[in-house]
Amino acid sequence: MPHRTARAAAVAAACLTATVALAPAAHAETRTFTDGGAHLTSVRVSHTATKVGVRAFVGPFDIGDHTTFWLDTDAGNSGPEYKADVWPNTEGPRLLRVGSFTSGGTAMDCDGFRATSDAFGPEEVALSIPRSCLGRPAEVRVAVRAFYAEDGGDVVDWGPELRSFYGWVAR
Ligand SMILES: [Ca+2]
Ligand SMILES: [Ca+2]
């Protein structure tokens, strides 16, 4: 009998854990992806009820370097749906609607869209995008291209790889 009681308690505990695991719909899911080598070293994606945040840790960068982000919000089409190209210390990067990695894109109105890149500040470039601008996707995945104009020749560091995405981040 004691065994049976202990087992029942364990099952009850497991059910409780499962309930807790399903509950965080109201919380952000945040995933951090790492990138090898120097330059771009990691990308953190957070997906909340109201916004998608992307933070790329790009190492030292200067005026003239820039970071491009693509967002895939529709798994039915393997390419990206949105793009933002962020130059440090400039006004007003825009959110662009795109059909592929190579498309130039069409600027969208997106109240609340924020891009942060300060060549004299932290070694990171960040986006904050209201989910309403993205069609309130169930999940999102991100690709990053960091460009550095260096004396020895330009450096391009893709995360995770040329025209490919990190894993999906559900809300
Ligand atoms: Ca890298
Ligand atoms: Ca897509």
What ligand is nearest to the CA atom of residue 135? Answer: 2
- Rounded to the nearest whole angstrom, what is the distance from the C-alpha of residue 21 to the centroid of ligand 2? 28
Domains of the chain, residue spans: 26-170
CATH fold label, 26-170: Immunoglobulin-like (2.60.40)
**Contact 98/70 with Cβ under 8 angstroms?**
yes
Ligand nearest to the CA of 98: 2
pLDDT digits (tens, 9 = 90+) for 43-76: 999 999 999 999 999 999 999 999 999 999 999 9
Could you tell me what percent of the chain has a pLDDT over 90? 80
Radius of gyration over alpha carbons of the chain, in Å? 20
Rounded to two decimals, what is the model's pTM?
0.84
**Segment 84-134, tens digit of pLDDT:** 999 999 987 899 999 999 999 999 999 999 999 999 999 999 999 999 999
